[in-house]
Structure 1
Amino acid sequence: MNVKNKKMIKAIDKTKRKLDMPKTEYVLKRIKELEADGHSPRTLFAACPNSISVIQASLRAAKRNNAPIKFATTLNQVDTDRGYTGFSHSEFVRYVERECQKINFGGPVIIAIDHGGPWLKDKQSTEKWSLNEAMDGVKQSFEEAVKAGFDLIHVDPTVDIFLEPNETISIAAVAERTIELIKHIEDFRRKNKYPPISYEVGTEEVHGGLADEKTFDTFLELLKSGLKEANLEDVWPCFIVGKVGTDLHTATFDPEVASTLTQKVKPFGSLIKGHYTDGVTNPEAYPLTGMGAANVGPEFTISEYEALIELEKIEEKLYEEGRIAIKSNMKDLLWSSVIESGRWMKWLFDDEKGKSFEQISPERQEWLISTGCRYIWQKPEIVIARYQLYENLKSNGFEAEEIVLSRIERDMDNYFHSFNLVGLNKYL
């Protein structure tokens, strides 16, 4: 680590100790101060670390752009059972630290749980855990995250699998469960003398009950009064997730709605967080409306998938020319593994449910596979195939892994630039 980066880290740590401020809130505070001094508004970029390649690309892109990076890890990805990435909470933190050392990156890295709530982990939903079982499982995950040194936890109890198909969870239940989970984290953290962390609450999805402004307002008031009653007046989320026009299949950000929600949470001292920012058509509008942060995830799985398919086309040509002995069969293995996993069924449209994979349109098949690869990247046969693909190209002068990482980084650069994050670290 060079002297400049060492000084940067020491400065941040010193400020945090002085203000007793979590890393996330320190970075947000500095962004606000810089804007008051005439700098452009900024929005934090959060990457969903759904593969080893995405983690590496995120840190490389953050270093090149001299900007902070936030990792939003779901409980499906990183958890006590190691999720589909193969990491527990402590292992994930150690891996990120190791990768930072490898590339000599000393900028702020914010590590967070994303969508932490009952039944948002697929296993809980498919096995139909009871409410108590699901809440206890989430609480255990939160404890491990605190112990591992996570910086932020998104508390999101907005799903209830035992409701009727057309029934929406009550906003009172969402607020009650949110407070219960935050209280559990704070009791555990304070009892064991772990440092303060930051919080994010709410969801942008309709099933969460925060889809309209009236319900959004009600949630904020219930949360405020509930935390006060629990003697947690000093705890308040820095991020509240807002429905700002984007969802899994919609890529247009709504600046007017975002501005309205931003003004609603401003008196509370919070910022609006956007989810499903993948492939958004107008990312440059996020900072202009005061958005605090935005998550991007499946887009980078598609980036990785497309890069591997590009490499396989090169491999096929090399094979035809007799320059390699064995093909990796990367694409066929990816498709068969995703289909066999059954995880693609989670993302079916209503009119697709009940159909076999072959009965779905080719365009949708491609999307389900390219985004579903995140679930199977770490399967042994896929790891072996990737190694074979990389070695085949390496023996013929191609830097295969570099091509994959560069493709993901290119798509990440779009957000670093659009969110005005380039060069931010020199002010932190």
Structure 2
Amino acid sequence: MDYILKRVDELSEQDGINRTIFAACPNSISVIKAALRSAKRWNSPVKFATTLNQVDIDRGYTNLNQKEFFNTIKLEADRLNVEVPVIVAVDHGGPWLKDLHTIEKWSFERSFEAVKKSFEASVSGCYDLIHVDPTIDITLPSGQLIAIETVAARTLDLIEHTENFRRKGGFPRMAYEVGTEEVHGGLADMSTFRKFLDLLQKGLSDRGLKDVWPCLVVGKVGTDLHTTTFDPNVAKELTKVAREYGSVIKGHYSDGVTNPEAYPLSGMGGANVGPEFTISEYDGLMELEKLEIQYFNSGKIARCSDIGVILYQAVVHSGRWKKWIQSGEDAANFESIRSERKEWLISTGCRYIWQNAEVLAARAQLYSNLENRGIQAEGIVLSNIECAMDKYFAAFNLKNLNDLL
């Protein structure tokens, strides 16, 4: 990751083209496949940024631990003969950023130690980068943000622990990403932003880690789960400051952003996209279900998969939709929520239940029904996800970047 970002800078000086590295949040096997297919077509590097909710020692909701996740990517890349760089990374690694820790109200000590173990598994699982993000604290009074000094100290503790583990085990060099989790606040203004980087710089030096510096710093650039407008002016300001320290800015929640072309123009080093691809996968399945029903009605299929109903029931039963409830909505009564919001909650909430047994069975039935009629069912779903990804590869100026690296 460090090398790619450095090379992108060199290329920008040569050809005047800024580039932003695309990172997919791999919330399903389909997203992994689609991202590798897209990266191969665009001849561009791709980064997988996975949260501890998705992949962890307990396997997360993808049902993969760190080593299994890496091997899944590697085997699929080998199958597709992918020759572009593929970066495997932890996204938002910090106490209480794994839903289980928050739901069960784990103590700081317990959550922090769990994160350390997760980072160890990521290092030994051949990951390339870890996003260290201790920017929330559920023990604080409601509305009180965590002190930036605490964020810096916990960031340093996690980096130091990871580096000690990596070096002792003889594992390859690790890249780091640091910064705020936008939903919960944190590095929200320039003075706080600079202070954090100053504290990090001094702390790494004091701990004998001068050779370790995060290549990426997450910036609050106007996007979150419910907004789709990237703020290029803020991004340029953050980028200018970050470059003084030798880092570039990374944007999160870039899903459905209305102005993706502004990312490279603003000097953004990278951007994460995730829930959007779950919606694309869901839409692809709903397209297939329409075909399935048509075949069933004409007597060409014996039994429908009922994929739509099964997905609906699985998301509602999971309760994970409650995480995204808005003011005025009843978390105790899903059916009371207005239709368009229910559709969004189902389509984005599917990422939590793709690996449920009943969902896997329904998808297998759907694919089998249509493939028996000559329809390339999985290909249609993957194409739907790839279509969503293509706009980012294009807007981020990534075409044929691999040839220039």
The correspondence of residues 1-400 of structure 1 with structure 2, limited to 5 A, is 24-205=1-182, 207-352=184-329, 354-400=331-377
Q: Which amino acid is 2:50 matched to? A: T
- State the Cα distance separating 1:351 from its structure 2 match: 2.8
- State the Cα distance separating 1:172 from its structure 2 match: 1.0
Q: Distance in 2 between matches of 1:135 and 1:380?
A: 32
CA contact (8 A) 2:325 2:331 kept: no
- State the Cα distance separating 1:404 from its structure 2 match: 0.3
Alpha-carbon spacing, 1:402–1:206, altered in 2? closer, same or farther (3 Å): closer
Q: Distance in 2 between matches of 1:114 and 1:204?
A: 10
User: TM-score, normalised to structure 2's length?
Assistant: 0.98
Q: Which amino acid is 2:73 matched to? A: V
Residues 287-318 of structure 1 deviation map (CA, whole Å, 9 limit, x = unaligned): 01110000000000000000101110111111
Q: Distance in 2 between matches of 1:364 and 1:162?
A: 31
Residues 312-344 of structure 1 deviation map (CA, whole Å, 9 limit, x = unaligned): 011111111011001000000000000000100
Residues 349-383 of structure 1 deviation map (CA, whole Å, 9 limit, x = unaligned): 13325441111111111111100000000111101
| Secondary structure of the corresponding residue to residue 351 of structure 1 | coil
Q: Distance in 1 between matches of 2:328 and 2:189?
A: 26
Report the aligned-residue RMSD.
1.0
- State the Cα distance separating 1:272 from its structure 2 match: 0.3
Q: Which amino acid is 2:132 matched to? A: V
In structure 1, the partner of 2:386 is: 409
Q: Distance in 1 between matches of 2:143 and 2:212?
A: 34
In structure 2, the partner of 1:418 is: 395
CA contact (8 A) 1:202 1:208 kept: no
CA contact (8 A) 1:169 1:207 kept: no
Q: Distance in 1 between matches of 2:381 and 2:331?
A: 35
Alpha-carbon spacing, 1:39–1:102, altered in 2? closer, same or farther (3 Å): farther
Q: Distance in 1 between matches of 2:2 and 2:186?
A: 27
Q: Distance in 2 between matches of 1:98 and 1:57?
A: 14
Structure 2: stretches of 5+ with no match in the other structure: none
Structure 1: stretches of 5+ with no match in the other structure: 1-23
- State the Cα distance separating 1:192 from its structure 2 match: 1.2
Residues 160-179 of structure 1 deviation map (CA, whole Å, 9 limit, x = unaligned): 11112211111111111000
Q: Distance in 2 between matches of 1:404 and 1:39?
A: 36
- State the Cα distance separating 1:186 from its structure 2 match: 0.7
**Superposition misfits of 4+ residues, deviation over 3 angstroms:** none
Alpha-carbon spacing, 1:94–1:347, altered in 2? closer, same or farther (3 Å): same
Q: Distance in 2 between matches of 1:350 and 1:150?
A: 39
Q: Distance in 2 between matches of 1:220 and 1:337?
A: 43
- State the Cα distance separating 1:48 from its structure 2 match: 0.3
Residues 211-252 of structure 1 deviation map (CA, whole Å, 9 limit, x = unaligned): 122211221111112112212121110000000011111000
CA contact (8 A) 2:133 2:181 kept: no
- State the Cα distance separating 1:208 from its structure 2 match: 3.6
Q: Distance in 2 between matches of 1:48 and 1:356?
A: 29
- State the Cα distance separating 1:204 from its structure 2 match: 4.7
| Secondary structure of the corresponding residue to residue 369 of structure 2 | helix
- State the Cα distance separating 1:135 from its structure 2 match: 0.6
Q: Distance in 2 between matches of 1:409 and 1:357?
A: 31
Identity of aligned residues (%): 59
Equivalent residues, number: 405
Residues 180-203 of structure 1 deviation map (CA, whole Å, 9 limit, x = unaligned): 000000111111111111000012
| Secondary structure of the corresponding residue to residue 315 of structure 1 | helix
User: TM-score, normalised to structure 1's length?
Assistant: 0.93
